[in-house]
Amino acid sequence: MACKTCHGLDVPPFEAPEFGLRVDPTRLELSVPNCDGCAFLHGALNALDLIPMQIAYIDLYNALKGAPLGVSIQLRDMRPTDQQYGVARRKICLELFVSDDKPSRWPCIGAGRPLLGQPSLQDAVSLASLWYADCKAHHKSCHSTPRTTPTRLVHVGVPGRYPHLVEPGMDFEEPYLPLSHCWGSRTIHPDHNC
């Protein structure tokens, strides 16, 4: 039987404006001895030096299957340690994820993407090239649906020349990569993030 506090970390996919699962921090602490999922979440809160009294609620959400688990922690009051920054931190957002070679015991916690600490331009281009190659090889739907031609692009691909604005016509067929996050709905490609 699933835990009544964390539901065994069976988090339904996130659909705006509702979060997948809201967890009460007091119930979470009481459920730790009897539930591995609650113990896991409680450990994440402990790593942030948070105690249940400081937390109003915790929202868990999963944007895509196989993606990291989003955690939004709504704080009750400003923590004394935050005063040094001069702002009241009312919400903490984080992602829980595993590496590709170590699968999670909970399906709602998927693999994270590699992060570069202080990347060089070459490191960043290499990582973006890997992501693009993965998309071309495994996401056929990204390349088969008709696309709307962008009205403006920044051309960065000519060595020795500064990036410049390009206004492509309707017959534009060159490959391009948007350097942004997803602005629209995930209904076109709900199974991946490109």
pLDDT tens track for 118-139? 777 777 777 777 777 777 777 7
Going by C-alpha positions, the residue among 30, 89, 19 that lies closest to residue 41 is 30
DSSP type of residue 175: -
Q: At which residue do the structure tokens 């659909």 appear? A: 15
CB-neighbour burial class of residue 5 (10 A; exposed 0-12, middle 13-18, buried 19+): buried
Q: Give yes or no for a contact between 178 and 151, defined as CB atoms under 8 angstroms apart.
A: no
pLDDT band for 16, please (50, 70, 90 cuts). very low
pLDDT band for 15, please (50, 70, 90 cuts). low
Task: Specify the pLDDT at position 169.
Answer: 79
CA pair distance 180, 194, nearest whole angstrom = 10
Residue bearing the bigger pLDDT, 95 or 78: 95
pLDDT band for 182, please (50, 70, 90 cuts). low
Q: Give yes or no for a contact between 168 and 181, defined as CB atoms under 8 angstroms apart.
A: no
- The tens digit of pLDDT for each residue in 26-50 reads 899 999 999 999 999 999 888 888 8
Q: Give yes or no for a contact between 5 and 22, defined as CB atoms under 8 angstroms apart.
A: no
